[in-house]
Amino acid sequence: MSTKPPPPASPDAALSRLLQIMARLRDPETGCPWDIEQTFASIAPYTIEEAHEVADAIEREAWGELEGELGDLLLQVVYHAQMGAEAGRFDFTSITQAIADKMVARHPHVFGNESRDKSADQQTADWEALKAAERGPQGTLDGVALGLPALTRAVKLQKRAARVGFDWPDASHVLAKIVEEAHELTEARERFTQDEIAEEFGDLLFVMANLARHLHTDPEAALRAANAKFTRRFATIEAALAAKGKRPEDSDLDEMDALWNAAKEAERQGQ
């Protein structure tokens, strides 16, 4: 008897198997009760979560995890495609054909007769012009997805407005606006309702996103990095306290702040 492993499946065969598995899961008579009950709306949060987990694996350079996370994200596309097919709206074939057609249309310098002798900035400008032509006549800010993370959507809204000239000329003006919004928020704490405080805080976050855009920084990535740094340093505090037989709730702010500064210094020394 041969002990050779079976040959690897072709991409077409592997994808076909996944599509068949999803169809079986959604079969109203023999499928999984949980999967059968799902809708586009109920699955959407999982889709967003899986996309974030892909980004997280890349951020951590966890290449051993990335394959699985990409598979989880692909499953989300297959899930939506199956529900679309059941409703007679679209299916996986129409989805893939549409995105393939879009990529060809948006890369005339690769698939058409346009010259490839362009800067990355010019190619980006051309891409946006093609997208605008596809959307047809509409408002400047129309079409920016509501489901995006708020900071990402803020940057996309600001980029759209900037393309028609509604933008500060440089980051110094944005910094001045941040000072103004921070002052308004400070005042809000004294005399505003909670709803008004939330509004002022939102204004400050919106301007902070604009500063990130002017500094060519992704605010979501920057905040993820800050979250990771905070998590790492707080874990160091907990470890230092544990070495003394203590937990954070047994400590106080002065002690933990000193341990925090020690963790910062240790990180600097390690760089």
Output the pLDDT for position 5. 63
CA-nearest of 227, 242, 178, 168 to 205 is: 178
Task: Give the C-alpha separation, 175 to 210, whole Å.
Answer: 10
Task: Give the C-alpha separation, 81 to 87, whole Å.
Answer: 10
Is residue 250's pLDDT more than 70? yes
Give the position of tokens 């809000």.
Answer: 188
Query: pLDDT higher for 222 or 126?
Result: 222
Portion of the chain with pLDDT greater than 70, in percent: 96
**Residues present in the chain in total:** 271
Q: Are 164 and 140 in contact (CB under 8 A)?
A: yes
Task: Give the C-alpha separation, 95 to 93, whole Å.
Answer: 5
Output the pLDDT for position 139. 86
Query: DSSP assignment, residue 115?
Result: -
Is residue 10's pLDDT more than 80? yes
Confidence of residue 47 (pLDDT cuts 50, 70, 90): very high
Q: What is the rounded average pLDDT for all residues in the chain?
A: 90
**How many other CB atoms are there within 10 angstroms of residue 111's CB atom?**
11
Average pLDDT over residues 70-91: 98
Q: Sort residue 143 into left (φ over 0), alpha (ψ -120 to 50) or beta.
A: left
Helix axes 219-243, 40-59, angle to 10 degrees: 70
Query: pLDDT higher for 118 or 235?
Result: 235
CA 224 and chain centroid, separation:
10
User: Half-sphere exposure (CA, 13 Å, Cβ side) for 3?
Assistant: 0
Helix (H, G, I), strand (E, B) or coil at 56: helix
Tokens found for residue 176: 């001045």
Output the pLDDT for position 134. 74
Average pLDDT over residues 11-28: 96
Give the position of tokens 């990335």.
Answer: 66
